[in-house]
Amino acid sequence: MTDREKYLFDIQGYLVVKNFLADDEVARLNAAFDANRDRMGEDGNSNTGKSTTLVGAKRGMFSGMLTWEHPWCEPFRDLLAHPKAVPYLNEMHGRGWRMDHAPFALFARTGAEGLILHGPGHHFDGSQYYVYKNGQMRCGMVVFQYQLADVNAGDGGFCCVPGSHKANYPCPREIVEWESDQELAYNVPCKAGDLLIFNEATTHGTRPWTASHERRSLLYRYSPKYLHFAGGYHQTSFPDWVDELTPAQRAVLEPPYIYNRPLIEDDGVSVVRPRRD
């Protein structure tokens, strides 16, 4: 993680990593979704509150991609411990981070609804936070949002209030529901293949989708090795399909604990298990 990236993430609460995925990686992920279109359901996290500006058609949602049959599961499993992601997660969480809950994808067509702004913002949350001390940052849960289609300024989709991970006051309801000060909810532009990383402590939400092309955003969520935010891969025993994963990919799915934990090396393949870390 470069000094520039650290600075931007520190002051904004989010970071865009350009061209993170190669063209063939984007193509494989999109092909997997296209081949499994019948698996798409509605977004179960729909919440527009009492807003008159966020309403629209329901967003589409994919989940369970890690368990799809071969070859469709493969590009999603490849992202679990992507070598390019490891340095970012090591910087934000320290070594030994883990997947917090299962990855999912949000799809939207013109007129799809938004989502109210949310995040702890002004108060400390033991699983959603940002701190800087002794020359290093540490975060609670962070989200890696892979964009599989372009998001131009004003298209809609992910938005956030930059810098709100350090807020001291609660976000007023009229801003939460995007009824006032709409410019605060910054719609972050990205290209297909870009990675958008944001801290769950940053006040964020979704603006209604207005573009003529389909929104395609794939989300992976990670937490420090000792934390768990939401339901997902936290079992003490794994299902059979986990045996097909590499040691590094399997390490990502470990439950929260510290002692004698498998740690993923920078190559995204090798794993070490020190007695203490």
Three state DSSP letters for 179-228: CCCHHHCEECCECCCCEEEEECCCCEEEECCCCCCCEEEEEEEEECCCCC
With CA atoms as reference, report the closest residue to 195 among 22, 20, 75. Answer: 20
Q: What is the mean pLDDT of the chain?
A: 93
Domain membership flag for residue 55 = yes
**pLDDT computed for residue 121 by the predictor:** 64
Checking 238-246 for CB contacts under 8 A at 24+ apart, the result is 239/67, 241/66, 241/67, 245/77, 245/80, 246/81
pTM: 0.94
pLDDT above 80 (res 122): no
Domain membership flag for residue 261 = no
**How does pLDDT run across 242-263, given as a tens digit for each residue?**
999 999 999 999 989 998 899 9
Domain membership flag for residue 273 = no
| Helix, strand or coil, per DSSP, at residue 44 | coil
Domain membership flag for residue 144 = yes
Domain membership flag for residue 211 = yes
Domain membership flag for residue 272 = no
- 173-to-116, 131, 205, 215 alpha-carbon distances in Å: 10, 26, 13, 27
Domain membership flag for residue 257 = no
Q: Which domain holds residue 15?
A: 3-252
**pLDDT computed for residue 186 by the predictor:** 97
Question: Which CATH number belongs to the domain containing residue 118 in this structure?
Answer: 2.60.120.620
**pLDDT computed for residue 110 by the predictor:** 98
**How does pLDDT run across 60-108, given as a tens digit for each residue?**
999 999 999 999 999 999 999 999 999 999 999 999 999 998 899 999 9
pLDDT band for 163, please (50, 70, 90 cuts): very high
Domain membership flag for residue 19 = yes
Residues with Cβ within 8 Å of residue 223, at least 6 apart in sequence? 93, 97, 98, 99, 100, 127, 140, 141, 142, 229, 256
Domains contained in the chain, number: 1
Length of the chain: 277
